[in-house]
Amino acid sequence: MATRTSRPSAQKRPKAAAPLDGAQRLIRRVVQGDDASDATVHRLTEEIPAVPADGTGVERPVPEWVELSQSLERSFAFVDLCGFTRYTEQHGAHAATDVLTRFRAACRDVATRRGARIGKWLGDGAMIVGTEPGPVVAAAAEILLRFGDDPFEVHAGVAGGLVLLFEGDDYIGRPVNLAARLCEAAGPGELLATGVDEHIPDWVTRSGTVTVRATGIGDLTDVAQLRVGSDAWAPVESSLELVPNDEG
């Protein structure tokens, strides 16, 4: 079994903390004991809704001042253009912009049609997010297929599991990191996936398994190597009928 190594990623500066609103300042004063009475603490405790740590999507609503960090089950695909920098050097910025525009349009179209969404754009890549692993695997695989005949190729990584939703539009957790590292380690035209064996579409080929040495995570064993053949396209029936010419 071969071993892949993902590239180290650049360190990002942490985001500055958001300013506290009135409810948060009051809770902080109570916790720190400033002007706190037993009645105030009891009242605040009663007013803060009891929300489960693991979100289901159908739990009761909460007021806007309640800050939640629930665990959610999500699947992620990181899809990236291979050799985009080299393509830009060879063909120029205008040609590269056309490629990137087409790539992003394909990602939006495929992800939306399959019930997933674009979580964020990453320069010449994209992060796709879905509630189910099957559509996310299928979306990444179809994007690979769409660019199979181009002078550049696409690679992807897929993983899923429990994550924290941060500030309403960002995800924090091991599955996000796994998908990103698998994408880095994937070869051109290849999709590396973990934990999705039961959700691989029948038109996607599993060519083997590999161990990925992921930076900051460690060795990931039994990672599925997935590829999509040119025969994966759905059959298209022509809507045009040939009408015989009776005039001879």
Above 70 in pLDDT, residue 238?
no
Residue 143: per-residue pLDDT:
94
- CATH number of the domain encompassing residue 140: 3.30.70.1230
Question: What is the per-residue pLDDT across 102-146, written as a single tens digit (0 to 9) for each?
Answer: 999 999 999 999 999 999 999 889 999 999 999 999 999 999 999
The predicted model scores a pTM of 0.70
Residue 38: per-residue pLDDT:
54
Residues 40 and 107 in one domain: no
Above 70 in pLDDT, residue 13?
no
Asked if residue 8 belongs to a domain, the reply is no
Confidence of residue 169 (pLDDT cuts 50, 70, 90): confident
Confidence of residue 41 (pLDDT cuts 50, 70, 90): very low
Residue 134: per-residue pLDDT:
94
Asked if residue 204 belongs to a domain, the reply is yes
Contact 135, 114 (CB under 8 A): yes
Question: How many domains would you assign to the chain?
Answer: 2
Contact 104, 126 (CB under 8 A): yes
Residues 79 and 42 in one domain: no
Asked if residue 216 belongs to a domain, the reply is yes
**Average of per-residue pLDDT across 44-57:** 56
| CA-closest candidate to residue 173, choices 162, 158, 188, 185 | 162
Residues 41 and 103 in one domain: no
Helices 133-146, 93-113: axis angle to 10 degrees equals 150
| CA-closest candidate to residue 155, choices 1, 10, 4, 34 | 4
Residues 213 and 179 in one domain: yes
38-40-43-45 Cα dihedral, nearest 10 degrees: -80
**Continuous segment of H or E residues that includes residue 231:** none
Residue 153: per-residue pLDDT:
83
Asked if residue 66 belongs to a domain, the reply is no
Expressed as residue numbers, the domain containing 201 is: 71-232
**Continuous segment of H or E residues that includes residue 214:** strand 205-214
Which has the higher per-residue pLDDT, 19 or 44?
Answer: 19
Residues 47 and 119 in one domain: no
Confidence of residue 49 (pLDDT cuts 50, 70, 90): low
